[in-house]
Amino acid sequence: MASTMTEERALSPGEVPETQALTERPQEWAQNLNIHLVCADCKEYPPNLVEEFASGDTVCGSCGLVLQSHVVDTRSEWRTFSNDDQGNDDPSRIGEAANPLLNGSQLSTTIAYGQGDARSRDLNRAQNRANADKTTKALLAAYKQIGTLCDSYHLSHSVADTARQLYKMTDDTKAFKGKSQDAIIASTIFISCRQNNVPRTFKEITSLTKVPKKEIGRTFKALEKFFQKHTQSTVAKNETYTTTTSTKAQDLCGRYCSGLDLPQQISVIAGEYADEMIKAGLLAGRSPLSIAAVSIYMMSHLMGMPKTPKEISLVAGVSDGTIRTAYRHIFEDRKALIKPVWLEKGGNMDLLPQA
């Protein structure tokens, strides 16, 4: 009889008998969702249950027997305060988070127009006049200007936000009071671009903000010095201001190449070539703009997608004459600097224009 109950077979090494495996594994606790709460007296199914939140009981709706106490109230805990949009669910218990870019806690009272009678209107006006915060208004105007400028240049939100933060720093200390507002905004955008690794040239910021290049340069220098000093003394240690490094030719290649509809491959090669030229000491003293431009000129020819100096000059903002002159300087050293890998990728030295 025992042989019919237990099936006997040889176990392979390491294998646990089935019954043993079941008992040994501790069962994870889980709520048994199969339990129905039914009134013991009425035994109705489905049960007629009433949840009484005031007392925290679950009560049988038919006979009144308390079936469960200490019920957890799972309803939303907010209360609706706004009377003006009754009928709509208004789950807001709180206002917006305080904007760190503005001063103060931004908690304010507004007097409503009410029925629109003269007294409430006068009260509203009087309160508005008392509350007109001039510094906040000026800040908001500056932030808006930064936002508009960054938007018009397709700069990301993080660039705009960094610029706003920098602007707030200058505004807080009043160190630049009386200086041209436009120049400060232009410089903060310039620094912000560098800090966010999307460097723009002074020339580009000038064409964006209409602030003369010289003025941006001067304000930029003063601001950078100020930020360094300011963050050292006041801001927490982990929030130190890192001085921006000047724009590298390599950083510009990517943007210029995309402006010229050149593929990513050429942009990378042009960047590397620009780097090689700088390392070799070629074109020393020339601006990163012209180094990037001439590198793109040469590499676009090498890779068989030639661009004329004129086309490049429109994107890079340097004259085509500058590109031609620079090309004459670097043409001699091409053999030493062009990497064999590029030739394997389809580069051809014979395609290079003669200088």
Instruction: Name the minimum Å distance from CB 68 to Zn ion.
Output: 13
Gap between the Cα atoms of 291 and 188, Å rounded: 26
State the minimum distance, in angstroms, from the CB of residue 38 to Zn ion.
9
Residue nearer to Zn ion on the CB measure, 68 or 106? 68
Q: How far apart are CA 55 and CA 64, in angstroms?
A: 13
Cα-flanking dihedrals φ and ψ of residue 52, to 5°? -105, 100
Please, what is the minimum distance in Å from the beta carbon of residue 73 to Zn ion?
23
The piece of 53-61, 254-262, 272-280, 301-309 that touches Zn ion (CB under 5 A) is: 53-61
* Cβ proximity of 318 and 307 under 8 Å: no
Let me know: does 303 contact 342? Beta carbons within 8 Å: yes
Radius of gyration of the chain (CA): 36
**Secondary structure letter of residue 60 according to DSSP:** E
User: Six-digit token pair at 287?
Assistant: 């601006």
Per CB under 5 A, which region of 39-47, 217-225, 271-279, 326-334 contacts Zn ion? 39-47
Rounded to a whole number of angstroms, the minimum distance from the CB of residue 55 to Zn ion is: 17
Q: Which stretch binds Zn ion (CB under 5 A): 34-42, 115-123, 227-235, 253-261?
A: 34-42
CB of 39 to Zn ion, least distance (A): 3
- Closest approach of Cβ 37 to Zn ion, in Å? 11
Phi, psi of 7 (to 5 degrees): -85, 120
Cβ-based nearer residue to Zn ion, 42 or 102: 42
Residues 6+ apart with CB under 8 A from 170: 176, 184, 188, 223, 226
Q: Which is nearer to Zn ion, 44 or 182 (CB)?
A: 44
- Regarding 16 and contact with Zn ion (CB under 5 A), the answer is no
Which 3 state secondary structure label does DSSP give 190? helix
Is position 38 an interface residue for Zn ion (rule: CB under 5 A)? no
Residue 57 parent element (H or E): strand 57-60
Q: Check residue 37 for interaction with Zn ion (CB under 5 A).
A: no
Instruction: Note whether 60 and 52 are within 8 A (CB).
Output: no
- Using the Cα atoms of residue 142, residue 145, residue 150 and residue 156 in order, give the sign of their dihedral: positive
- Asked if 49 touches Zn ion (CB under 5 A), the answer is no
38, 42, 175, 305: residue in contact with Zn ion (rule CB under 5 A):
42
What is the identity of the amino acid at 262?
L
62 makes contact with Zn ion (CB under 5 A): yes
Q: Residue 36 CB, nearest distance to Zn ion (Å)? A: 14
Is 66 near Zn ion (CB under 5 A)?
Answer: no
To the nearest 10°, report the CA torsion of 165, 169, 172, 174.
-130
Q: Shortest gap between Cβ of 50 and Zn ion (angstroms)?
A: 10
Q: Are 342 and 269 in contact (CB under 8 A)?
A: yes
Q: Residues 210, 201, 193, CA angle at the centre, nearest 5°?
A: 95
Examine residue 63 and tell whether it contacts Zn ion (CB under 5 A): yes
CB closer to Zn ion, 39 vs 252:
39
Instruction: Please tell me whether residue 39 binds Zn ion under the rule CB under 5 A.
Output: yes
Contact flag: residue 292 with Zn ion (CB under 5 A): no
Angular region, 56: left φ>0, alpha ψ -120 to 50, beta rest = left
Indicate whether 60 belongs to the interface with Zn ion (CB under 5 A): yes
Q: Looking at beta carbons only, is 48 or 228 nearer to Zn ion?
A: 48
Under rule CB under 5 A, residue 41 binds Zn ion:
yes
Give the footprint of Zn ion on this chain (CB under 5 A): 39, 41-42, 60, 62-63, 65
